[in-house]
């Protein structure tokens, strides 16, 4: 009995999905920050997160592609208003968890351009069963309705897995938010130390031993002298204290607070959230050539290639209405970072005397 044939997909009754009107990937609780503020704090202001995302997105954008139709590669590689499609889509997927690619057509209805919409501007309009009926794009005070068409869609929605949401994906920015906050706070603390010449705050205590106090003129003169010695420009200059005055530190020293270790640990957590080996971000570790080579290979195998597979297969499925049997994937044989693996595979195939030439070609991925 054929239970899972090809005809059971679109014709069968769909399950009822959630009917909530949540915006894509953005929590609705009052205390949760908006996506824009998360990007500003977690991506624009944090060098580790920005470099991690750029490594994955940039590597994916530069990956060699193979397709069933040459026009597919040209569409994906073309820049639209200066936008690099694959790099932009990969960045949206990593940060937001959703990417929306608008398919632009000419007067004859043929595809001429692909453009990635900003995901925080897109919401879904659901039907009575909770399935997407249209996508609403808000920009410049205007709302553009992009209808859902299963054959020739106006928008291709790509999303990562979200275990608690039927409609929107889950990005990595939220998981890395805690570590990013620690890293940013540690950087701000170190900057404050540099502005204060790495000296802890404190107070001048006047204790002559006879219970007397400073006169107003003496107090103002002492304050003026202290202000003249403040700041990093006066680092190392000695301050002459008169009788009865002593310096009393009022905070822990930088060594006691150990912000360097906390910052390094937070940086590793950020790298982990985005799937990038910490070594590739210049973080402390065993930075030998062999380890770097293994880390670069792990970056491709565990981060870039899985994300590329999700993006490229989704685009190919969305464009199948114009290109019959459309397929789009990374040409692993031409990825420089994986050349050593391919060399080993070819050596194994060449030494396998029990295989005929056709089987050897199939073993290395050649038809």
Query: Residue 299 pLDDT more than 70?
Result: yes
Range with the largest mean pLDDT of 45-49, 198-202, 215-219, 247-251:
45-49
Q: Which residue has the tokens 């060449």?
A: 350
Tokens coding 345: 């595979």
Q: If 0-12 CB within 10 Å is exposed, 13-18 middle and 19+ buried, where does residue 113 land?
A: middle
pLDDT of residue 1: 40
Q: What is the pLDDT of residues 220-246, one digit of tens each?
A: 877 777 776 665 555 555 565 566 677
In this model, does residue 186 exceed pLDDT 80? yes
Other CB atoms within a 10 A radius of the CB of residue 186 amount to 21
Concatenated DSSP letters of 97-110 = SEEEEEEEE-TTS-
Instruction: Kindly report the pTM of this predicted structure.
Output: 0.78
Q: How confident is the model at residue 3 (pLDDT cuts 50, 70, 90)?
A: very low
Could you tell me if 93 and 87 are in contact, meaning their C-beta atoms sit under 8 angstroms apart? no
Going by pLDDT thresholds of 50, 70 and 90, the confidence category of residue 26 is very low
Q: Indicate whether 7 pLDDT > 50.
A: no
Tell me what percent of the residues of the chain surpass a pLDDT of 70.
77
Q: For residue range 278-290, list pLDDT tens digits in order.
A: 888 887 765 665 6
Which of 151, 148, 167 shows the shortest CA–CA distance to 159? 167
Average pLDDT, the chain: 82
299 closest CA partner among 316, 280, 325: 280
- Both tokens assigned to 257: 């607070």
- Nearest by Cα to 76 from 156, 151, 159, 153: 156
Q: Return the pLDDT at 218.
A: 76
């Amino acid at each position: 009995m054929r239970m899972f044939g090809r005809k059971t997909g679109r014709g069968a009754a769909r399950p009822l999905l959630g009917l909530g009107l949540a915006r894509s990937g953005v929590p609705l609780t009052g205390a949760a920050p908006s996506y824009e503020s998360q990007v500003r704090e977690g991506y624009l202001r944090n060098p580790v997160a920005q470099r991690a995302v750029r490594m994955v997105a940039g590597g994916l954008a530069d990956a060699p592609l193979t397709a069933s139709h040459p026009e597919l590669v040209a569409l994906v590689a073309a820049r639209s208003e200066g936008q690099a499609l694959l790099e932009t889509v990969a960045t949206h997927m990593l940060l937001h968890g959703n990417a929306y690619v608008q398919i632009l057509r000419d007067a004859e209805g043929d595809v001429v351009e692909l453009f990635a919409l900003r995901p925080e501007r897109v919401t879904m309009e659901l039907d009575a069963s909770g399935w997407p009926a249209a996508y609403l794009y808000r920009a410049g005070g205007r709302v553009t309705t992009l209808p859902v068409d299963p054959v020739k869609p106006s928008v291709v929605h790509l999303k990562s897995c979200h275990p608690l949401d039927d409609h929107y994906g889950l990005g990595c920015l939220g998981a890395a938010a805690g570590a990013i906050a620690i890293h940013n706070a540690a950087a701000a603390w170190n900057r404050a130390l540099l502005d204060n010449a790495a000296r802890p705050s404190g107070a001048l205590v006047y204790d002559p031993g006879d219970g007397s106090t400073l006169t107003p003129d003496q107090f103002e003169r002492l304050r003026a002298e202290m202000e003249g010695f403040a700041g990093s420009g006066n680092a190392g200059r000695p301050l002459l204290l008169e009788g009865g005055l002593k310096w009393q530190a009022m905070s822990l020293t930088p060594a006691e607070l150990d912000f360097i270790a906390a910052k390094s640990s937070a940086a590793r957590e950020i790298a982990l959230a985005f799937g990038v080996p910490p070594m590739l971000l210049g973080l402390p570790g065993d930075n030998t050539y062999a380890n770097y080579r293994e880390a670069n290979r792990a970056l491709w195998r565990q981060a870039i290639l899985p994300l590329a597979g999700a993006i490229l297969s989704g685009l190919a499925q969305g464009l199948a209405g114009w290109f019959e049997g459309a397929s789009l994937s990374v040409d692993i044989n031409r990825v420089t970072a994986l050349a050593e693996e391919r060399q080993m595979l070819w050596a194994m195939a060449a030494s396998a005397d029990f295989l005929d030439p056709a089987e050897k070609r199939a073993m290395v991925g050649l038809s």
